Amino acid sequence: MKLLGPNWSRAIDVTRHSPRSIPRGTIPATPGVYIWFREGEPVYVGEAKGARGLRSRLSAHLATGIDLSRSTLRASVAVAELGVTRAHARRRPSVMTIAEIARVNEWLAGCELGWHECSSPVTAHELEVSLRSEWTPPLNIL
């Protein structure tokens, strides 16, 4: 895949980590943009701008429990891989089965994760907007 735009050209060069091997404490508690990759290609981009920044936001995406309502990424994987609606995937209390959650978790375990720390929440937001304006990863479209 040829990604268009200078922001994506820089963004795909992030250090990538296996989701199963990232100690939560090593994820920065700063604002930033994170990118999930599958088979070397970006599949999802998001921003972290809350009080605990990347660590807090990525913890929701790295969760393996049955509740998908706190992670747009996990819900998007359920939509793409299981054919459920977004409303079904994000419902609270969860109506997802253990087998469905296992498929979502296994799919995400086959990904890689990278991030860019940013100096402020505004900078993180601007970077994510610029990336998505150049090209939108497939799970961001669902």
Residue spans of beta strands (DSSP E) within 1-142: 32-38, 41-48, 111-117
Contacts of 29 (CB under 8 A, 6+ apart): 52, 53, 54, 55, 56
pLDDT at 3: 63
9 exposure class (CB count in 10 Å sphere: 0-12, 13-18, 19+): exposed
pLDDT score recorded for residue 2: 65
Per-residue pLDDT for the chain (142 aa), expressed as one digit of tens each? 666 788 998 899 999 999 999 988 899 999 999 999 999 999 999 999 987 899 999 999 999 999 999 999 999 999 999 999 999 999 999 999 999 999 999 999 999 999 999 999 999 999 999 999 999 999 999 8
Which CATH code fits 6-141? 3.40.1440.10
pLDDT given for residue 142 in this prediction: 81
The pair of three-digit structure tokens given for residue 112, joined into one six-digit string: 């890689």
| pLDDT for residue 51 | 79
pTM over 0.75: yes
